[in-house]
Homo-oligomer: A and B are copies of this chain.
Amino acid sequence: MIEFSSIRKEGLSVQIANAIRTAIIDGHLVVEERLPSEAELSERFEVSRSTVREALKRLAAQNLIRSERGSSGGAFVNRITHDEAQESLVTTLRLMIGMNNIAFEEAIESRFTLESACLGLAANRRSDDDLADLRAELQHQRSGSISDEDFCASDVAFHSIIGRSTGNPLLAFQMAGAVEAMQPLMNMLVYRLRDRQRITDLHAAIADALEAKDADAAWQHLEALASYTRELADQRRAPRLNGPKVGNGAAPEPASV
């Protein structure tokens, strides 16, 4: 184990959390290594066990460590899973969108910009498996019986697969995170049946272009999809201007479609 230097100002638990976090990120504590027990840490830092615990909870919330109970238990440096990382990414992006006056148009633009960058790579690299996955989602979307929620989920999946098709796990990660983070926004759009049809057709066109490894065509159809999304967003807003004032603004969900 390493020596933690002593502590001075600001909340004790915060300082302890920072000390350990730094040790992890700087690599002094490697993945799966076990930290000293809470009792030992509290002696080492000369604080009570509760204080150490609060520090550990902070780190656990960031997925940096994981606590196991029992005789050979303790706190271990966590090998973060892809899912945990993605959840964390999504949370961060959503907070960023929700609390920093990000306009709907900006969010859409950011997402489609990222996706169009992915498309360039995906068109050259997509595997047959990727293509099959895309087709599977398309079929799902075409089945008229699925709910709005399922349609949106399938939409998220479709675009995540495009990210995956780049063959670059980091790009796939960012792409999937962005798409999922914006799902609540997309959910606000009313998907009438006709809209679904149009969207699914554009998805199909993109899949075709990827199959043909035709990046230009893929871009063109993605651009069409982006415009159409903006159009739907405008439609949803414009009529309201003359209509009755919207009660909440947050939860649209017009009764039934």
Contacts and interface: CB of A to CB of B under 8 A. Distances in A.
Interface stretch (A39-47, A99-107, A200-208, A237-245): A99-107
How many copies of the polypeptide does the oligomer hold? Answer: 2
A62 to B, nearest CB: 6
Q: How large is the interface on A (under 10, 10 to 19, 20 to 34, 35 or more residues)?
A: 35 or more
A227 interface: no
Contact of A116 (B60, B95, B96, B117): B117
Given A61-B61, A99-B80, A113 B106 contact: no
A13 B57 contact: yes
A115 B132 CA distance: 30
A171 B110 contact: yes
A117 B173 CA distance: 17
Contacts of A17: 61
A125 to B, nearest CB: 11
Interface stretch (A1-9, A81-89, A143-151, A152-160): A81-89
A163 to B, nearest CB: 10
28 contacts: A27-B251, A31-B99, A54-B54, A57-B58, A58-B61, A61-B62, A62-B62, A80-B96, A82-B96, A85-B92, A85-B95, A85-B96, A85-B100, A88-B88, A88-B92, A96-B173, A102-B169, A106-B168, A106-B171, A107-B170, A109-B168, A109-B170, A109-B171, A110-B170, A113-B117, A113-B118, A116-B117, A117-B117
